[in-house]
Structures are given as C-alpha cells and as structure tokens.
Chain A
Amino acid sequence: MHSKGSILIVDDELIVRDSLSKWFQEEGYDVGTAEGGRQALTVLAERDWDIALVDIKMPDMDGIELQRRLSEVKPDLTIIIMTGYASVETAVAALKSGAYDYVVKPFDPEEMAHTVRNALAHKRAERENLALKERVAEASFPPELIGQSAAMRAVFDAIETVGPTEATVLITGESGTGKELVARAIHAASPRRYNRLVVAHCGALAETLLESELFGHEKGAFTGAQYRKKGIFEAADGGTVFLDEIGDISLKTQTDLLRVLQEREITRVGSNQPIHVDFRCVAATNKDLEALVEQGSFRPDLYYRLNVFRIDLPPLRRRREDIPLLVDHFVRKFASSMNKPIQGVSRAAINMLMQYDWPGNIRELENAVERAMVMARTGELQEKDFTLRIPHNGRSGMTLEEVERAHILEVVEQCRNNQTLAAQVLGIDRVTLHNKLKKYGWKRPTDEAL
C-alpha cells in the first residue's frame, strides 16, 4: 500500500517507540525508530525521512542538541519535539530554533494525527513551492542576456536554433562574457525547461570532489562521505547539465565524462551499480580546447562529443555598441537594490566606458557600475564615479604590498576620505580598512571636511 509519509521516532523509552510506531503503522505511515540521538544520526544517514519525532530528554543527547545537529546535515527534515509537562519551556525553545511543532506526552490521538498530517502537508507545499520557483526561473529566458550588436544577434539566433534540440552545445568565450546566461537561455528554449538546470563549476573543485559532484557517492565512499549523495547528472533528472570551465578537468574525469555522454549511465563513487540518467549537456570554457587537444591535455573524443554545436561569445570590446544598453540595465538593477534614485549615466561617462577595453568583460562592467553607484552623489553617474583599470599607474615594478597601499590610498582619496564609503568600494569591512590605513601611516587631512 502507498505510504502516507515516513516518520522516524527517536526516544530512549522502548515502550514509547513500540506503541508510537505501531500506532503510526496502522495509520499507514512508514515508521522507523532510534533509541537515542547518536543512533538517529546513523539511521538518518542511511535514508531520508519526512518527519522525526524527537523526545526532548534522552541520556546520550537531548532533543534540542539533536535538532541542532540535524538542521545542519538534514535541513529538509521536519522535526516535532515530544515533551513531558515539565519541559514545555524547553519545547518552546526548540520551536524558536526551528522545530515544526511540539507535542506533550501523553498525546491525544486526534491531536497527534492532526499535527503529523499538517507537518506533512506543510512539507509537501514547501517542496512544491520551491520546485515551482526554480522551474519558473529556469524556464524563462535570462533577462540579463542583453545586446543588439550583430555579434549578439548571431548568438541569439544560435540559441533559438539549437535550444529546442537535444544537441550538446559548447559555449566558448572569455571570462565574464556571460556563458552561463547563454546556457540558461538554451535550457529555457528547450523542451526540458520545466525540469532543472544543474550547474557544475568544474574548475573550482579538486578531482575527487568533482567526481563526487558529477556522479554522486555512496555513504562511506571516502572520508567525510557521511551521507549518500546524488550527483548532478542524477539531479538533472530530465533537465540540463551545464558543465562550466570544462577545459580545466583532469584526463581521468574526462574519461569518466566521455562514458556518461556516450552511455547515458553513471556509477556513484563507491558503488558498482550503473544508474541510467536523462540529461542534455551544455559545456563552456574560456580555454582554447583545440590547442589543449593538440597539447594532449584534452581528449579529442570528448572534444568532438562536446563540440556538436558551438556558440562563440564575443568579448565586450568586440561589441562596444551594446555597452550603453548593458549600463542602463545595471543602473536600473542597482538603483532598485540600493534604493538610490539614479536615472542614468552622463554622455561623457558613457563615451569613456565605450572606449575602455573591458578585459573582465560584462562582469567587470557590472562591478564598475555597482562601484560607481556607491560613489555617485547626483542622479546621474559621472566619469569620476568610475574607477577603471586603465593601465596608467605604472605599478608593474611594485610589490603586492606597495600596490595595495597605492590602491587603498587612491580609493580613500576618491572617496573624499570617507572610510565607510571607501571600504564599500574596496569590498572590505571598515575595521580592515582602518587597520590597513593605520599600517600604511595614513593621516586624515586636517583641512578637508568630510
């Protein structure tokens, strides 16, 4: 018979575990028991449970402590605290720290049934809400993918062409050109859009961690693998997998990846059971994969598998005409999030921004606009509000400390010695800035009012 949900009963008293589990079994629930906090952690590592009914007083670990630990490792678990009359205050403390509800022993049968029914309904609604939000966001064309230049129009055409197909796509482009946004647009244009888009930042993880991220692992597969974990290919489940920085993965992982792309099967780390997976692959890189293939550090067969349909994203300096449009978008975005009434950018500032080469591409432009918004004193961003990395300071022969000192002092001066503002621009907290200024012997100019 279909189970109504799963309940783990954690109580040191056998009679409580026995009578409650029998009662819930009759109600049609899938029931498990644990005689204390430690055993509960072990049982919960083996499989997922919807609800844990946790006694507040247990000899090895009290219910509140168990709840604290579980909220770290199993944030989705709904916890209901069971308490005697004497410890209602502690139960209230448990509620404050995130328990769904508490019940006082002995329970009125209808009250208990009602509490568990409500907890499950609440959990179901939360899950559905989250899944819908994610899917709606993933199913929409990313609004930040902006451009009217010929180069970007070609990118949009390519997305429109390849999106609805099952073809694997390789997106190339310099860092900060918006490769992930293009991957999201491809997903949104595909029939898979109502399923998940799962992103793996391949360059950010060590080989073993990446393996477990991609293919998942079984409990105990390696030190620290306390719980079974699904990899991104499994998690995508009918959706799209976006493999970012694909040029950074090791030859060993390339071999594993090639097998997944060919066989559509994965094997979790620590298991020998192949699992069928349903996904569409989009990969991206800022590296020259052909050159890597020639050097022997990238497998040619994987390269051909990935390079079925290729989209080259132009660097921002090759589509300067899109800069005003992008700036306008970022100004509106930050005006809203910073709650600052800034309408736009002066013509002189736009001219300056269009002449700059933007080595960090759109990401650098976005950061520059954000910094300028912090600095701005009027309703329009001016040239002086922008701090561009124009190579003018001749710092090439300086040590890192000297560069830091020069940059900090420059920013503080631009901020008219306002340390709070300067700390915001530098992206550090005010105390750190204060300590660094002290270290560099900075003195507040006495003749200048803030």
Chain B
Amino acid sequence: MNRIDLLAIGETDPVMMESLRAALEAEFGVRCQILEASLDPAPSFHPERGQYSSTDILDRMQKQFGSGVDRLLGVTALDLYVPILTFVFGEAQLNGTCAVVSTHRLRQEFYGLPADAGLLEVRLLKEAVHELGHTLGLTHCEDYRCAMAASHEVEAIDLKGRSLCHECRARALALMTRKPAVKR
C-alpha cells in the first residue's frame, strides 16, 4: 500500500474528512488525499430497508474510481447494510482495493445521546483503519485492543484502539508491499 484516497459518498463534513486524512497518514505512514469528486449514493438505496447497500457502493466505487488508485476509502453519513445483516459500520474488499465506512451509527445522536464530535472522529478513524486492514488481507484479531478486533457494536469500537496490534502491524507491513488483488 502506497497511497490512500478518500472519497465522499453523498454529503460529508469536510472538517471530519480532513481530520481522518491526517490521522490515516500518521497511522499507516503513507500519503492520504481527499478526492474532489464524490459518489452519488442514490442508486444503492433500498427503499424497503431505508438503507444503502455497502456491497453495491463498493462495486460502483471500483467501477468509477478504481483505476489508478491504490486503496480507496469511501466515507458516508448514510446507514449501510449487506443483505443478510441488519446493518454494517463498513465493508471492504478483503485483500482488494476499496472499502467504505459509515458515520451513521458512530454518532452518539443515533443512540439518543448528545453529539460528541471528538468521539465520532476517533470512532471513524478506528473503523477506517479496520476496513483498510481488510483490504490488506487482515482478518479479525483476537486482541480486543487491536483496531482489527471484531466490533459489531459501538461499545466494542470504543473498547479497541485506533492502531493495529504488534502482530497485525507486522502482517500489514508484509502485506502492504503486495499489490491488491483485482476485484470484479
């Protein structure tokens, strides 16, 4: 992995995007930039569920922006799902190019609590590192403090750290030199 491109899916907060960009650059030690273009989420909307298909978004990210990117991370404020699950915080192409994260269920307001911009930034960074880890081929880590620990609830996200554990970091470094597999 040599570069990370951030892509807005629908409307996103530019301050939050910039903060994520800087944090990812520090975390992975590679250049990270925000693309000027954005992806229209509307075609991925499921009216009955009232949610957006993360798998469909990944497909369209790959088709429209996939060429010439190393790792492409979509960021959205919309609620994401995969067909068999009630929701997802994000989805990635395992050992691939694209990943997407949603801030929808990372916001305190979703749980009826007062907004907390700082907490949202930290949660988003953890999920972004997690999904990018999947694009490197990393699977879930047993160490609950590692960013690659499984987190299906926001409490689990708060529990884990923003960084990879020693073992995942070593594996990521080995994998980062490898080119991503071509998807679809």
Q: Taking beta carbons and an 8 Å cutoff, which residues of A are in contact with B?
A: 1, 15-16, 18-20, 22-23, 25-28, 105-110, 112-113
Inter-subunit contact A105/B84 (CB<8 Å)? yes
- Least CB distance from A368 to B in Å reads 60
Known contacts A110-B153, A113-B150, A113-B152; A25/B139 CB under 8 A? yes
CB–CB A23/B150 < 8 A: no
**Could you list 12 further interchain pairs (A-B, Cβ under 8 angstroms) beyond the known A19-B85, A109-B152?**
A16-B84, A19-B83, A20-B84, A22-B82, A23-B84, A26-B134, A28-B140, A107-B84, A107-B85, A107-B86, A109-B86, A109-B88
From B83, B92, B94, give the contact of A106 (CB < 8 A). B83
Within 8 A of A (CB), among B77-103: 81-88, 92, 94
The number of A-B residue pairs with CB atoms under 8 Å apart is: 53
Which 8 A/B pairs are nearest by Cβ-Cβ distance?
A: A110-B152, A109-B152, A28-B139, A19-B82, A15-B83, A19-B84, A106-B86, A108-B86
CA–CA, A108 to B89, complex, Å? 12
B62: CB under 8 A from chain A? Answer: no
> A27: nearest residue on chain B (CB-CB)?
B140
Q: Tell me how far the C-beta of A37 lies from the nearest C-beta in chain B, rounded to whole angstroms.
A: 19
Digitize B61-77: 1 where CB-to-A-CB distance is under 8 Å, 0 elsewhere: 00000000000000000
Residues of B within 8 A of A109 (CB): 85-88, 152
A109 to B84, CA, bound (A): 9
Residues of B within 8 A of A (CB): 55, 81-88, 92, 94, 134, 139-140, 150, 152-153, 156, 171
Give the Cβ gap from B65 to chain A, nearest Cβ, in Å.
Answer: 21
Per DSSP, chain B at the interface is loop
Chain B residue nearest in CB terms to A9: B84
Q: In the complex, which residues of chain B have a beta carbon less than 8 angstroms from the beta carbon of A22? A: 82, 94
Q: Which residues of A contact B140 (CB under 8 A)?
A: 26-28
A18 to B84, CA, bound (A): 10
Q: How far is the CA of A15 from the CA of B53 in the complex (A)?
A: 12
| Residue with the greatest number of chain B CB neighbours at <10 A, chosen from A15, A18, A26, A113 | A26
The residue of chain A having its C-beta at the shortest distance from the C-beta of B95 within the complex is A25
Is B139 in contact with A27, judged by CB distance below 8 angstroms? yes
User: Cα distance A107–B87 when bound, in Å?
Assistant: 9
What B residues does A112 contact at CB under 8 A?
85
How distant is B16 from chain A, measured CB to nearest CB, in Å?
24
In angstroms, Cα B87 to Cα A19, docked, is 12
CB distance from A322 to the nearest CB of B (A): 58
